[in-house]
Amino acid sequence: MVNTEVVLSGITLTNPVIPASGTFGFGAEFAQLYDINILGSLSFKGTTVEERFGNPTPRIAECSSGMINSVGLQNPGLKAVCEHELPKLATLYKKPVIANISGFSIEEYVECAKAMERQESVGIIEVNVSCPNVHGGGMSFGVDAKAAAEVTRAVKAVSKKPVYIKLSPNVTDIVSIALACEDAGADGLSLINTLYAMRIDLKTKKPVLANKMGGLSGPAVFPVALRMVYQVFEAVKIPIIGMGGVAAAEDVIEMMLAGASAVQIGAANLKNPVACKEIIEDLSRVMEKYRISSLSEIIGGAH
């Protein structure tokens, strides 16, 4: 009998499989297809203070082994999420969830964090630092170690719940940013977010996306994500949630060997809405095939 349990900052998950923010909504649509309580946890739709319609369409572009999105953080806003979406989710999912928050200033991150701190169903606050800093010339918080640390400190100051910083891969040295977040008090890290990418329509000879560029996700980014998780694990002492192109139980094992304590599934949910269910159901078989008795014992095993 294999043991699929893992622990994130004192929270025990029955398995390491977590739908990634932005690919699972608030769970309601997926709950119509299967019992989502089989999930280790779930990271719900990225939430901002104000309601956001998102970027203009088209905002999805296909590519081989992946997809590019420029959705633009579409969400109903902090008040609606706390008053409507989370109570509804609590009727469908009985385990602690991960609250993914975004902001365009330090003040907005703090406001979101304060609200999520009060939500009983929220176990972990996941901070997306890939947003442009409107007070810092538009540069994303996550591409600058000092700015990422500033966000981390501000959110930690208002939250007793574990705070995980979701790192951007669009940097030259992800390790220095991971270390800055750890030094600023982060309880854990999530990596990676999407890679900056684009497509051009040969018929129109114009960019496919209305926003011209967006974030690449799917199997194409898996080797990059794996490399970054491996590098960051070597440098930090806090847990890592690995993500980026994970689409099978074998990918989950590989990501954990690189150093992830849990794994998020993103683009695979958009291609196959029961992807997480199938991965969870296949985990035991893959563990037995590779003679793994306990997932918690293989974290960082490739080092």
> How do the pLDDT tens digits run along the chain, 303 residues long?
899 999 999 999 999 999 999 999 999 999 999 999 999 999 999 999 999 999 999 999 999 999 999 999 999 999 999 999 999 999 999 999 999 999 999 999 999 999 999 999 999 999 999 876 767 666 789 999 999 999 999 999 999 999 999 999 999 999 999 999 999 999 999 999 999 999 999 999 999 999 999 999 999 999 999 999 999 999 999 999 999 999 999 999 999 999 999 999 999 999 999 999 999 999 999 999 999 999 999 999 999
Residues 6+ apart with CB under 8 A from 232: 167, 174, 175, 178, 189, 191, 240, 259
Per annotation, catalytic residue among 82, 112, 131, 276: 131
| 63 assigned to active site | no
Cα 204 to Cα 155: distance, rounded to the nearest angstrom: 45
Residues 6+ apart with CB under 8 A from 205: none
Cα 116 to Cα 112: distance, rounded to the nearest angstrom: 6
Instruction: CATH number for 6-297: choose from 3.40.47.10, 3.20.20.70, 3.40.50.300, 3.30.360.10.
Output: 3.20.20.70
User: 0.75 cut: is pTM over it?
Assistant: yes
Residues 6+ apart with CB under 8 A from 80: 51
Cα 269 to Cα 24: distance, rounded to the nearest angstrom: 7
Could you tell me the two tokens for 265?
Answer: 């599934």
